[in-house]
């Protein structure tokens, strides 16, 4: 997932980007989260943020957490936030990493099913 995210890191934010084709000139929030989950074999087709509200299992995962509401989705992968907003990674106009967490209030917390856990994340 990290390698896949780094392939699209710093691509521009494009509303609807990543939903028609896995290879897009830019990605929106759900397109970028879909991209990394697809690369890990955890998602067959892109979801919008509302679709992520029902995806996978409820609650926190050990290595991957997905936060979704009707307007936005972001992921925490191995302790780093993968997001298209509120990042300190580059030009801030598209997908990027941040070590700073954002408040999870108002988001449904989900995790991938079938991903083996080794050591849980803290926090």
CA distance 123 to 106: 18
Q: How confident is the model at residue 91 (pLDDT cuts 50, 70, 90)?
A: low
What's the CA gap between 88 and 122, in Å, rounded?
21
Could you count the other beta carbons within 10 Å of the beta carbon of residue 84? 26
At 32, which helix (H) or strand (E)?
A: helix 29-39
Q: What are phi and psi of 2, to 5 degrees?
A: -65, -45
What was the pLDDT predicted at 118? 47
Classify domain 2-111 by CATH architecture.
Alpha-Beta Complex (3.90)
Cα separation, 48 vs 63, in Å, equals 22
Q: Which one, of 50, 10, 16, lies nearest residue 31 by Cα? A: 16
Residue spans per domain, the chain: 2-111
Q: Is the pTM here over 0.85, yes or no?
A: yes
Distance CA 121, CA 64 (A): 9
- How does pLDDT run across 1-27, given as a tens digit for each residue? 999 999 999 899 999 999 988 889 999
Q: Could you say which DSSP state residue 64 is in?
A: E
């Amino acid at each position: 997932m990290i390698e896949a995210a780094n392939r699209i890191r710093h691509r521009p934010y494009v509303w609807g980007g990543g939903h028609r084709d896995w290879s897009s000139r830019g990605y929106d929030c759900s397109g970028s989260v879909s991209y990394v989950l697809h690369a890990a074999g955890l998602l067959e087709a892109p979801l919008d943020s509302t679709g992520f509200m029902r995806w996978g299992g409820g609650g926190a995962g050990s290595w991957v957490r997905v936060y979704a509401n009707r307007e936005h989705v972001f992921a925490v992968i191995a302790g780093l936030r993968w997001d298209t907003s509120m990042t300190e990674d580059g030009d801030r106009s598209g997908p990027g990493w941040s070590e700073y967490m954002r408040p999870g209030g108002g988001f449904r917390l989900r995790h991938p099913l079938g991903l083996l856990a080794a050591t849980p994340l803290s926090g």
